[in-house]
């Protein structure tokens, strides 16, 4: 997993930094795990645009990912490592002993032919294995973490992300997240050992505006270039700075906490991310 700098034979390739895709083993997805993916263009069921800067993009099929890993005590063999257009991480196709195939988020270092397991007891904390946080040794690096038992992974799923198990407090495991935030998660929640694959995703440079359009993202208008009727930072004579950075509805973007004080998960957060 890495990136490559292209020879600048065209202006758009001069600054392009592309992934090398060396870790991929096939370019044909498993047909039984594909679903149609309908585009909204940022419009709701009335046809009105409710989200700006969305539209176009290449046609995609959705890959059904097994975020629950609930096929316990049955080993699965890794068949392939594949590209997924719907997420930054790579995915792996695994086949269980009974013949069922599923896609999982590919951890860093997973290889074809490797055996992965999931279970509530007796599963070793090896890369790609899924087990409860309460069964892992302190210091384990994990990803694809559940926040509620049985609901499926919802945290640390994008490319290169991970969390570290740093302590235990009664019925909670204490995790340190990449943002340096420390929070409690129930010991009974499942997590997968290892770091999410494709950690070089952050180093990719598109090189031209057209590649961004292929991803379904339309050009974004800067707030300071708008009129006062369109944005709080708009208007002014000449190149006005726009004042304090804020959202379209006036919420400050810098220097003010935006997390709700009534959020029920506040009690699980031990220390917020550093400034």
Q: Which of 114, 119, 104 is nearest to 196 (CA)?
A: 104
Structure confidence by residue, pLDDT tens digits, 13-68: 999 999 999 999 999 999 999 999 999 999 999 999 999 999 999 999 999 999 99
d(CA 213, CA 49): 18
Report yes or no: 95 and 76 within 8 Å, Cβ to Cβ.
yes
Q: Distances in Å between the alpha carbon of 140 and those of 19, 53, 135, 255?
A: 28, 40, 11, 34
3-class secondary structure, 267? helix
Q: Which of 116, 133, 136 is nearest to 125 (CA)?
A: 136
Strand partners, 53: none
Structure confidence by residue, pLDDT tens digits, 217-245: 999 999 999 999 999 999 999 988 888 89
Q: Distances in Å between the alpha carbon of 104 and those of 8, 81, 142, 160?
A: 36, 10, 14, 15
Output the CATH code of domain 19-42+59-202+266-271.
2.40.50.140
Task: Give residue limits of the domains in the chain.
Answer: 19-42+59-202+266-271
Structure confidence by residue, pLDDT tens digits, 101-126: 999 999 999 999 999 999 999 899 99
Report yes or no: 164 and 195 within 8 Å, Cβ to Cβ.
no
Structure confidence by residue, pLDDT tens digits, 177-221: 989 999 999 999 999 999 999 999 999 999 999 999 999 999 999
- Residue 127: both structure tokens together: 């890369």
């Amino acid at each position: 997993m890495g990136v490559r700098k292209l020879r600048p034979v065209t202006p758009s390739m001069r600054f392009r930094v592309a992934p090398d895709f060396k870790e991929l083993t096939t370019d044909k997805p498993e047909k039984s795990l594909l679903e149609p993916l309908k585009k909204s263009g940022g419009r709701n069921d009335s046809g009105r645009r409710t989200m700006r800067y969305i539209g176009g993009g290449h046609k995609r099929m959705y890959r059904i990912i097994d975020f629950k890993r609930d096929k316990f005590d049955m080993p699965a063999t890794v068949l392939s490592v594949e590209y997924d257009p719907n997420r930054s991480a790579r995915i792996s196709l695994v086949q269980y002993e009974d013949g069922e195939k599923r896609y999982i988020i590919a951890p860093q270092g997973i290889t074809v032919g490797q055996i992965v397991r999931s279970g509530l007891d007796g599963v070793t904390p090896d890369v790609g294995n899924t087990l409860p946080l309460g069964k892992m040794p302190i210091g384990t690096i994990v990803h694809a973490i559940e926040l509620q038992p049985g609901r499926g992974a919802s945290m640390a799923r994008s490319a290169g992300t991970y969390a570290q198990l740093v302590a235990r407090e009664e019925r909670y495991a204490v995790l340190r997240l990449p943002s340096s935030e420390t929070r409690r998660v129930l010991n009974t929640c499942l997590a997968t050992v290892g770091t999410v694959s494709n950690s070089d995703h952050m180093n990719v440079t598109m090189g031209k505006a057209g590649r961004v359009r292929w991803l379904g993202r339309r050009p974004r208008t800067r707030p300071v270039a708008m009129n006062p009727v369109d944005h709080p930072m708009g208007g002014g004579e000449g190149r006005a700075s726009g004042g304090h950075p804020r959202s379209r509805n006036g919420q400050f973007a810098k220097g003010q906490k935006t997390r709700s004080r009534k959020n029920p998960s506040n009690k699980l957060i031990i220390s917020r991310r550093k400034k």
